[in-house]
Amino acid sequence: MTGQTVSMKEPVCLIENDSDGKLRVVSSALDILHQIDQHVVVVAVVGLYRTGKSYLMNKLAGKSKGFALGATIQSKTKGIWMWCVPHPVKRDHTLVLLDTEGLGDVEKGDENNDSWIFSLAVLLSSTLVYNSMGTIDNNALEKLHYVTELTKNIKVKSNQKDEEESSEYLRYFPSFVWTVRDFTLTLEMDGEPITANEYLENALKLRKGSGKKTLEYNLPRSCLRNYFSPRWCFVFDRPTNAVNMRRMEELTDDDLEPLFVQQAKEFCDHIFTEAKTKSLKHCTKVTGRLLGNLAETYVAAIRSGQIPCLDNAVVALAQIENSRAIERAKAYYQKEMADRVAYPTETQEELSEVHGLVEKEAVAIFINSSFKDEDQKYQLELMKGLKEAYDKICEWNYKESQKACESKIELIFAPLQEKIKDGSYMTPGGYKEYCNDLKLATGEYRSAPGRGVKAEEVLKEYLETKASIGQAILSADKSLTDAEQKAEAEQARSETLERETQALKEKLAVQERLIADQTRTYEENINQLIEKMQKDSRQAMAEHERILQARLKEQNDLIKQGFSDKAIQMQREIDGLKDMKKQEEENKPSMISNVLDTVGTAAAFLPGIIPTVGGIALKCISKLF
């Protein structure tokens, strides 16, 4: 997907608190997102205030300045700030950086606001960076208590009653990166060196027991293990001395500790290569415009006192995006047909070929932009819309052909008309001269380019108006015997019949081509729909497998740590995931068949394809299995 993007010179506020203290989306930031048709990789950073979050985001943007760093004990970032830049690695993607206000800011004193900021960062991002200072110890994890409130602040399903299984959240939550600043420890365990990732996983190990302190100890660890996968960790040495820390925005890499510079580069390289494209349920990839709509939807729910729901958001956004996808596809079709076709076309086939190419491209625009099009309601609407547009184009082509033909006839037959007016043909031998001139003019007309699809019909209609004149000239020609006059009259009737036959053939050729167009329309829509379904199915299966493997890894870790009871409880979830995968694979043929039946209803407004729909559908299905 190429699409349009923007490159911002500096960040802007995306979500702020209004005068009543409620969160709201900033309209000017939405305007920026709505310009971005590219897919987006969304990286959000969260953490306690004054932990250096903004520095990391500036590095990801490739700048030394942008997000306010601050040098005092006050938090500089309020709400959620956004910076959109071209992705340095993923072609045709935009990197959206979200810097959140520091959690736990004593000046704000609003724990509930912090919780919603954290939840929004989770909802909007594809990679969540949690930034902390010192070490990953129990104190650091207790400060990350916001993760324990996610299931209270976010619902997956609209009809959710009991607590969702963790795999449902794991499916839709972002990947997780813990960055530890001013890290002074040695990365080793039991005398052996370990990686930063191993350091994180060791810090997330659970304690045995059922006491209150043990439960409190395990809760944030369990939430991180259950809701976020994959997980990574990066540790950073202190960048420079205390004096220089106060003017970080003025420093270059040469002014910082070489090890810190290298660690920052490794972090950025990881984000650039590993951070995934933001996606919704059904593996729908998010564009900047869709991200803006998501932000509006979630904040609106929070402002109204509701809990943001992933299912509801997808349904609401699908209606907006699918309608827009239809309009984009139709607008593209109209523009391209206007640019590529010179009216009138010489034949219907010429117009049909351009229509087929442009229609295919327009359908692709819709298919690539639409999602959750249940019962193919929107695709059928597009098919109908494109057919109506093509009908109007054909009608315009007819009218232009009519005008072109009438203009050529007026020019070519002008000398004949003059002779008729001055009575040149009303003499002995005048009828043969008239027939000869008529034949020459007709031949010249038929060889003239630019007549279009009504060439024979317009000629027939014109000559029909001259039939009585020809009869009068014939009757007035005394040089012809009665037998010759009868023969000439019969010849005239034969020529009239031939012209009618030619005009009828011309009409039938147009109609046959239009029927072929309708059949091709159906087949093209089916082929692209099936291709999309196959792609979505592959992506869904890959995502399903990722979740299953994450649950199996977690179960294995629990067994190793001696939590056999928790591992047994998790088996039910694992069995459910396996059953779901099996059912999806078994139901795939019938699901595709049902979709083909649904799209087949397009025949109701595409007359002519009804007898062939079944054959086309069977042919399309045969490509799959």
| 156-197: pLDDT as tens digits | 887 765 555 677 888 889 999 999 998 988 899 888 999 999
233 vs 564 pLDDT, higher one: 233
Give the count of beta carbons closer than 10 Å to the beta carbon of residue 590: 9
**Measured distance between the N- and C-terminal CA atoms of the chain, rounded to whole angstroms:** 28
Strand partners, 99: 45, 81
Q: Give me the pLDDT at residue 89, please.
A: 94
CA distances from 412 to 258, 345, 408, 466 (A): 87, 20, 6, 15
Confidence of residue 543 (pLDDT cuts 50, 70, 90): confident
Sign, Cα dihedral of 101, 106, 107, 108: positive
Confidence of residue 600 (pLDDT cuts 50, 70, 90): low
188 vs 103 pLDDT, higher one: 188
Q: Which of 76-80, 503-507, 561-565 has the highest mean pLDDT?
A: 503-507
Q: Give me the pLDDT at residue 249, please.
A: 60
Q: Give me the pLDDT at residue 76, please.
A: 47
For the stretch 546-592, pLDDT in tens is 889 988 999 999 998 889 888 898 898 889 888 888 887 777 666 66
Q: Give me the pLDDT at residue 533, please.
A: 85
Lowest-pLDDT range of 342-351, 382-391, 566-575: 566-575
Q: Give me the pLDDT at residue 166, please.
A: 72
Give the pTM: 0.82
| Cα–Cα distance for residue pair 271/171, rounded to 1 Å | 20
Residue 97 has pLDDT above 80, yes or no: yes
For the stretch 394-445, pLDDT in tens is 999 999 999 999 999 999 999 999 999 999 999 999 999 999 999 999 999 9
β-bridge pairing 12-17 and 127-133: unpaired
- The CATH homologous superfamily for domain 12-308 is P-loop containing nucleotide triphosphate hydrolases (3.40.50.300)
pLDDT (average), residues 331-339: 97
| Cα–Cα distance for residue pair 291/321, rounded to 1 Å | 11
Half-sphere exposure of 533 (CA within 13 A, CB side): 25
For the stretch 275-319, pLDDT in tens is 999 998 767 899 999 999 999 999 999 999 888 988 888 888 999
Q: Give me the pLDDT at residue 170, please.
A: 87
Sheet holding 175-181, edge to edge: 23-25, 12-17, 80-86, 93-100, 39-47, 127-133, 175-181, 231-235
Residue 69 has pLDDT above 70, yes or no: no
Q: What's the mean per-residue pLDDT of the chain?
A: 87
